[in-house]
Amino acid sequence: MSSLTQAGPAVSAGPAPSPARKRRGSGRKWAEIGLFSGPAILVYVGFVFLPVALAAYYSFFNWNGLGPLERFIGFDNYTRVLTDPVFHTALRNNFFVVGASLLVQGPLAIGVALLLNRKMKGRGLVRLLIFIPYILSEVIAGVAFKLILQAPAGGSYGPFDTVLNAVGLGELRQLWLADQKVVMWTIFAILTWKYLGFAIIIMLAGLQGVPEELSEAAAIDGAGWWQTQRYITIPLLGPTIRVWAFLSIIGSLQLFDMVWIMTGGGPANSTHTMATYMVLFGLNRQQVGFGSAVAVILFIISLVIALLYQRFALRRDLEGSLTGREG
Any domain includes 179: yes
DSSP secondary structure letter of residue 172: G
Any domain includes 25: no
| Average pLDDT over the chain, rounded to an integer | 85
Q: Please name the residues in contact with 25: beta carbons below 8 A apart, sequence gap of 6 or more.
A: none
pLDDT of 24: 66
Any domain includes 7: no
pLDDT of 318: 66
pLDDT of 16: 55
Over residues 231-254, the pLDDT tens digits come to 888 888 989 999 999 999 999 999
pTM attached to this predicted model: 0.83
Tell me the C-alpha distance between 128 and 140, whole Å: 19
Any domain includes 169: yes
Any domain includes 30: no
Tell me the C-alpha distance between 215 and 225, whole Å: 9
pLDDT of 243: 92
Q: Max CA-CA distance within the chain?
A: 122
- pLDDT by residue, tens only, the chain of 327 residues: 444 444 455 555 555 556 666 566 677 878 888 888 888 889 988 888 898 899 999 999 998 878 888 889 989 999 999 999 999 999 999 999 999 999 999 999 999 998 888 877 877 888 888 889 999 999 999 999 999 998 776 666 788 888 888 888 888 888 888 889 999 999 999 999 999 999 999 999 998 888 888 888 888 888 887 888 888 888 889 899 999 999 999 999 999 999 999 999 989 999 999 999 999 988 888 889 999 999 999 999 999 999 999 888 887 766 655 444 443
Q: Measured on CA atoms in the order 120, 212, 127, 187, is the torsion positive or negative? A: positive
Any domain includes 62: no
Tell me the C-alpha distance between 115 and 17, whole Å: 62
**How many domains does the chain contain in total?**
1
Give the structural domain span for 105.
Answer: 76-314
CATH classification at residue 90: 1.10.3720.10
Any domain includes 52: no
pLDDT of 216: 80
Any domain includes 176: yes
Pair 258, 191: CB distance under 8 Å: yes
Over residues 196-216, the pLDDT tens digits come to 999 999 999 998 888 888 888
Tell me the C-alpha distance between 126 and 114, whole Å: 13
